[in-house]
Structure 1
């Protein structure tokens, strides 16, 4: 199942761009929101947020049945605007942040992998983004 179509997920977070950026990029926060559902978690996260820097988040099922490293290398970083990276398998991801007053829109566009259905991937990435929105809106700086 080969696909060259890019996939988009987005959310509007009721928080300032500064807060959204910090919560999106700081490993202590990433570990608290980076999961698609309550039965998954991110026990470790590393982030060297600069062009050429690398990141890695360990995502695992809480019951220990499955886990994987999600990581790559940054291609572009513009504070409060854009994060673009290449995953370990060569797929590209572009994230834009657009803030206005106390509201920030986050849009992620990514190349899907070829193992799982595109709809499944879009649902998973959207679930993680929705979890981020919930965390950012309910957690104080």
Structure 2
């Protein structure tokens, strides 16, 4: 069986790991940066931040409603998050996201690994979306 596509993105952020972690885990902060450039402010962001807890984000892009959710598999405050990832429209295509936060001079090196994509198109689409979201996260964190 062929391996499923994956992607790894790295971003140096000018914020401490604690601030970056909060932006990923606090719904009131997630709504400021989550989504692509053409995304309106997400009307719903929910987290139950514990191993086995769920998260959900709903937003509108290109006049369409999108909802993604998953289950936290690993929670290491200010260092690491790992969670399943599935769109409401294609729940059978579950993938896995891991966020690693490493302190560096004047900020944080964020490494986002998204693996087990259904196909290369899904990987490429998510790569574009994640890069737009990370741009928004960087702007949000200042």
TM-score range, shorter chain: 0.7 to 0.9
Listed one character per residue, the Cα deviations across residues 18-65 of structure 1 (whole Å, up to 9, x for unaligned) are: 11111221100101111210444311100111100000000212x6x2
Q: For the Cα contact (< 8 Å) 2:5–2:118, is it kept in 1?
A: no
Q: How far off its partner does 1:117 sit?
A: 4.8
Give the whole-Å Cα distance in 2 for the aligned partners of 1:50 and 1:30.
17
Q: Report the RMSD for the aligned CA atoms in angstroms.
A: 2.0
| Count of equivalent residues | 134
State the match for 1:36 in structure 2. Answer: 36
Contact 1:10 1:126 in 2 (8 A): no
Other-structure match for 1:104: 108
CA distance in 2, matches of 1:107, 1:115: 20
Distance in 1, Cα, partners of 2:6 & 2:120: 15
| Larger mean Cα displacement after TM superposition, 48-57 or 6-15 | 6-15
User: How far, CA to CA, are the matches of 2:100 and 2:69 in structure 1?
Assistant: 18
- More moved, 33-42 vs 126-135: 33-42
Q: Given the superposition, is the C-alpha separation of residues 40 and 116 from structure 1 closer, same or farther in structure 2, using an over 3 Å criterion?
A: farther
Q: State the partner residue of 1:72.
A: 70
Match of 1:114 in 2: 119
**1:16–1:99 Cα contact (<8 Å) kept:** yes
- For residues 26 and 136 of structure 1, the distance between their equivalents in structure 2, rounded to whole angstroms, comes to 13
